[in-house]
Structure 1
Amino acid sequence: MKIAANLSLLFTELPLCERVLAARAAGFAGVEIQFPYDVPAVALNAALQAAGLPLVLINLPAADLLAGGPGLAAVPDRQDEFDAALQQALTYAAVVRPASVNVLPGRLAEGLDSAQAWETLVANLRQAARAFEPLGIRVLCEAINPLDMPGFLISTPAQLLTLLAAVDHPNCAAQLDLFHMARQGLDLVTAIDSLAGRIGHVQFADYPGRGAPGSGQLDFAAARRALVAQGYAGWLGAEYLPGQQGAAASLGWLPDWQA
């Protein structure tokens, strides 16, 4: 397993393209970015090429999701917006070539029946999986804890598995965020075991506090052993808050993980 820096949370004192070089200097093997679309794709690609690092993951545009709205993927009345977001991500990804694109399920929109939201989400994930397949880019879907994102449609590994079964497309897999599992009191090893064979990407931060490994109480060694036991050989994305000390000073954990 290789470790990628999440450049939406790490090295944020620098412009995005400069963060790629900072990640390389810090010893990361790749990078991931939540929403890179403010930076021209050709500029980001040039930075990736200069650093010699792969882009591991980006998110599909999600409109108002981070501002408390429902997002796009599970709202029938926003289908045109979702289709436009999908096209934007396809065009961007054709240049920067991420390994995976994450489609965030979103929240249940006000006044919307949950069955309608589910049907829309399943159809949109299947559409995205088909669209990215010719590019060799995998589509992911993530469970997020309902404490930090109330009303989020997919929170647990069981819900994620049900969703993947409904989508029923080989180019759609689970994104497992260890912090989001711990935040709602779920055991990490159990979560990993339940998603065996369906995990396409893993992200991590310690709990509580969403800081660097070692700042909280999570047993990351046990989680890594469980991933190995289940045959996971993909990326581990460092998506944590480094605090006022900054990312460079928060990396004491990295050499041991690399070893």
Structure 2
Amino acid sequence: MPKFAANLSMMFNEVPFPQRFAAAAAAGFKGVEFLFPYDHTPAEVAGWLRENQLENALFNMPPGDWAAGERGIAALPGREEEFRAGVARAIEYAQALGTKRLHMMAGLVPAGADADSYRATYLANLRFAARECGLHGISVLLEPINGRDMPGYFLQTQAQAHALREECGEPNVKVQMDFYHAQIMEGDLAMKFKRWFSDIGHVQIASVPARNEPDDGEVNYPYLFRLLDEQGYDGWIGCEYRPRGRTEDGLAWLAAYNQ
């Protein structure tokens, strides 16, 4: 039976972030994920999780200057010191929250940039992050993101992510398979999931093309949920979608899995 984690950066936006934990629990979620916890102290976020008996499935390492348009710095030459400080900060939060997975955002590659330099920087930073996180039993996740929503993002396909994972060689590096991004970039979701199943550390969902509830659009989620069960996937499925309206009003799709 799939287990779903509400993405509190995109869902339950009807209330402020601290109140979304209770809203998710009331809606039947046992887990939550979010982009970034850093606007709040580790103790505050841990308290909201504890009060609502929720598990934190995932959050992102610091992404650089998000407000200015940065989308991670792991692949950016010259930002290594900032990246390493971000790894330490993410681990501090993960330990407080009991989080076992951290997503390492790669960043945007400018047109005409030296691709080899960005790749070498990414691999060196990945090895550093994996070794630091490994000391605390934390996995580092790589997530390909589609180039329509995030033009120029360093990491865009499942094959690219798994090649980097293999080259890195650290056992706690896994790939995050967001079916929304993967469908836009490459499709063939079921076969790709089965091919790389043992190295997939987290799954996320949303409808395609609108990125709303997973009950419409071109992806057959009931089929994929059955496939995940058949393959023995026991991780979280992150609901990283934008509700069409009020979050609770769009959760009819979830009822069949919360019996």
Report what 1:72 is aligned to: 73
Identity percentage over the alignment?
Answer: 38
Unpaired segments ≥5 residues, structure 2: none
SS in 2 for 1:209: coil
Give, in whole Å, the separation in 2 of the partners of 1:38 and 1:252.
32
Are the equivalent residues in 2 in contact too, given 1:145–1:155 (CA < 8 A)?
Answer: yes
Give, in whole Å, the separation in 1 of the partners of 2:217 and 2:88.
40
Give, in whole Å, the separation in 2 of the partners of 1:111 and 1:38.
35
Are the equivalent residues in 1 in contact too, given 2:28–2:258 (CA < 8 A)?
Answer: no
Letter in 1 for 2:97: V
Report what 1:229 is aligned to: 230
SS in 2 for 1:5: strand
The structural deviation recorded for 1:35 is 0.8
Report what 2:202 is aligned to: 201
Give, in whole Å, the separation in 2 of the partners of 1:78 and 1:195.
31
The ranges of structure 1 where at least 4 consecutive aligned residues each deviate by more than 2 angstroms after the TM superposition are 64-71, 109-112, 225-231
Report what 1:103 is aligned to: 104
The structural deviation recorded for 1:258 is 3.4
Query: Structure 2 length normalisation: TM-score?
Result: 0.94
Query: Structure 1 length normalisation: TM-score?
Result: 0.94
- Say whether 1:162 aligns with 2:163: yes
Report what 1:56 is aligned to: 57
Aligned pairs for 1:11-30 (under 5 A) are 11-30=12-31
Aligned residues: 258
Report what 1:258 is aligned to: 258
Alpha-carbon displacement from aligned partner over 1:79-123 (angstroms, at most 9, x marks no partner): 111112112112222211212100012221466411111111111
Report what 2:180 is aligned to: 179
Letter in 1 for 2:99: P
SS in 2 for 1:218: coil
Alpha-carbon displacement from aligned partner over 1:25-59 (angstroms, at most 9, x marks no partner): 00011000111110111111111110011111010
Closer, same or farther: CA 110–81 of 1 in aligned 2, 3 Å: farther
Give, in whole Å, the separation in 2 of the partners of 1:90 and 1:31.
18
Alpha-carbon displacement from aligned partner over 1:130-176 (angstroms, at most 9, x marks no partner): 11122222111101111111111211111111011111111110101
Letter in 2 for 1:121: Y
